[in-house]
Amino acid sequence: MRRSVAAEALLVAPLAGAAGLPPGYALARWWFGQLEEKGAIPGPVELSVSWIPLVVAVGAGLLTSLLAGLMAARRPARIPPGRALGEAAVERLRPGVIRTVLGVAALAGGIVMTGVAASASGDDAANAALGVVMLFMLAVALLGPLIARLCAWLIGLPLRAGPAPAHPASANSRANARRLASAITPIVLAMAFASTLVFMHTSQDHAGARQ
């Protein structure tokens, strides 16, 4: 099982990375043009794309998929097939201990960095703000199932007061929090990163214009 997972990752990840390079380059040029058009980037700055970040991106995707696949296959490879199928039908209620500890540590680090960024000024505050976003993004990625279950519970409150079909929808969202987290976590990460890039520049321009 571990060998099959590793082989699949080694075959699929490079192809997926190579397929993502052309649209990534096109998106980078469009995004750069939008920022330049709105004055978020100085005129002399030009977009330069070398082969190094492309190779690093494909290599990072390959390594991440390989490690994630091996970690996911570790427990199923050690238990009987019948039991593995039974556990696959119902999600585990609790995430792994290591994942939870790292997620809480990232959340605590983000809170601490928020205080540091709030007490700083100028370039120091801007640099600290990047650290805040990165730590909170890491916390969301690690604590995704817990966050998804909490959000499903909150959103399920009005659903449970609604008609009968709303009750199974609420219960299904809570029971499949891991699958829900796999869908919402990339959206959260993309929105956080994009918002940081946009609003940091606009905030700096606004502060500069006011001064």
* DSSP single-letter state for residue 90: S
Residues 77 and 102 in one domain: no
Residues 99 and 76 in one domain: no
Structural domain ending residue among the three candidates 90, 119, 140: 90
Residues 99 and 31 in one domain: no
Residues 140 and 76 in one domain: no
Residues near 153 by Cβ (< 8 Å), separated by ≥ 6?
174
Residues 112 and 34 in one domain: no
Structural domain ending residue among the three candidates 90, 120, 148: 90
Q: Which domain holds residue 123?
A: 93-211
Residues near 63 by Cβ (< 8 Å), separated by ≥ 6?
none
Residues 84 and 105 in one domain: no
In a 13 Å sphere around the CA of 19, the CA atoms on its Cβ side amount to 6
Residues 164 and 194 in one domain: yes
Structural domain ending residue among the three candidates 57, 74, 90: 90
Residues 115 and 179 in one domain: yes
Residue type present at position 137: M
User: Whole-angstrom Cα distance, residue 7 to residue 13?
Assistant: 10
Residues near 164 by Cβ (< 8 Å), separated by ≥ 6?
none
| Low-confidence residues in the chain, pLDDT < 50 | none
Q: Given this model, what pLDDT does residue 92 score?
A: 60
- Total number of domains in the chain: 2
Q: Given this model, what pLDDT does residue 84 score?
A: 63
Residues 23 and 66 in one domain: yes
Residues 59 and 142 in one domain: no
Residues 60 and 109 in one domain: no
Residues 19 and 119 in one domain: no
Q: Given this model, what pLDDT does residue 108 score?
A: 93
Helices (H), the chain: 2-37, 51-74, 81-89, 97-119, 123-142, 144-160, 166-175, 177-210
197 exposure class (CB count in 10 Å sphere: 0-12, 13-18, 19+): middle
